[in-house]
Amino acid sequence: DSGVTQTPKHLITATGQRVTLRCSPRSGDLSVYWYQQSLDQGLQFLIQYYNGEERAKGNILERFSAQQFPDLHSELNLSSLELGDSALYFCASSTQSGGSYNEQFFGPGTRLTVL
Amino acid sequence: AQKVTQVQTEISVVEKEDVTLDCVYETRDTTYYLFWYKQPPSGELVFLIRRNSFDEQNEISGRYSWNFQKSTSSFNFTITASQVVDSAVYFCALSEARFGNEKLTFGTGTRLTIIP
């Protein structure tokens, strides 16, 4: 158990809908990352938050947005869903401080199926 | 731009054989970090090792060992005396670890099957 929790585990929805994925980082971790794993794109970085602020953006679609709340949990919002958004969405957290860099620990993922 | 290449898509070996998973990376930075993650059939991503670019010492952890060679930009992973529980997809990853660029860039993964 990595200490990172994600809910829900599975989500099945229809095209055009909007969903919210939730992530709670490990205790003490300030950085939260979101990744998408799909068959055609592999594992891709979407976005990073550090202590409530957006820190880096990757290949995240405009239909997708995220935020990190004061209690450090994060939510990834996916809207106007398309079939191609079906994927496993991972959240990861790490402790970044004082210039040091630490490994990212991943949650169990949310499997999104868009029908 | 950073890139990670895992040319071995799938490997099958018989239990107790040794197996090496290859990883080649590209980066323009002098400071970077390399990682291996394991994704078993259950789907989660399990951290195995982190290595920074200044430390070229090989590392051994039980049946696992890692060979980092800066000269060839490779970070290979060897499992000795493989076991069925080692069956998984293994990902090599790279991070440039600069402020605003701490993301992981993953390779496409190697699916390892251990045949009992």
Tell me if B50 and A56 make a contact (CB, 8 A cut-off).
no
Over 90: is that where the pLDDT of B58 sits? Answer: no
Structure tokens at A105: 């620990």
Tell me if B103 and A33 make a contact (CB, 8 A cut-off).
yes
pLDDT band of A96, cuts 50, 70, 90: low
As a whole number of angstroms, the distance between CA A64 and CA B76 comes to 35
The pLDDT tens digits of the residues spanning B65-84 come to 999 999 999 999 999 999 99
Asked if B3 reaches chain A (Cβ–Cβ under 8 Å), the answer is: no
Asked if A108 reaches chain B (Cβ–Cβ under 8 Å), the answer is: yes
- What are the E-state strand segments in chain A? 5-7, 10-13, 19-24, 31-38, 42-50, 53-57, 64-68, 74-78, 87-94, 105-106, 110-114
The pLDDT tens digits of the residues spanning A19-72 come to 999 999 999 899 999 999 998 889 999 999 999 999 999 989 999 999 999 999
As a whole number of angstroms, the distance between CA A7 and CA B69 comes to 40
CB < 8 Å to B43, chain A: 88, 108-109, 111
Nearest to A96 among B43, B52, B102 (CB): B102
Q: How far is A35 from chain B (nearest CA, A)?
A: 9
Task: Give residue B103's identity as a one-letter amino acid code.
Answer: K
* Inter-CA distances, A60 with A15, A54, A74, A92, B99, Å: 18, 13, 16, 16, 19
As a whole number of angstroms, the distance between CA B94 and CA B89 comes to 17
How many of the other CB atoms lie within 10 Å of CB of A84?
A: 12
CB < 8 Å to B51, chain A: none
Nearest to A103 among B47, B101, B106 (CB): B47
Tell me if B106 and A43 make a contact (CB, 8 A cut-off).
yes
Residue A90: closest CA among A30, A13, A54, A38: A38
Q: Average the pLDDT over B24-41 and give the result.
A: 94
As a whole number of angstroms, the distance between CA B98 and CA A55 comes to 11
* Inter-CA distances, B14 with A19, A105, B60, B77, Å: 43, 31, 22, 17
A–B interface: beta-carbon pairs under 8 A: 58
Q: How far is B80 from chain A (nearest CA, A)?
A: 24
CB < 8 Å to B45, chain A: 90, 92, 106, 109
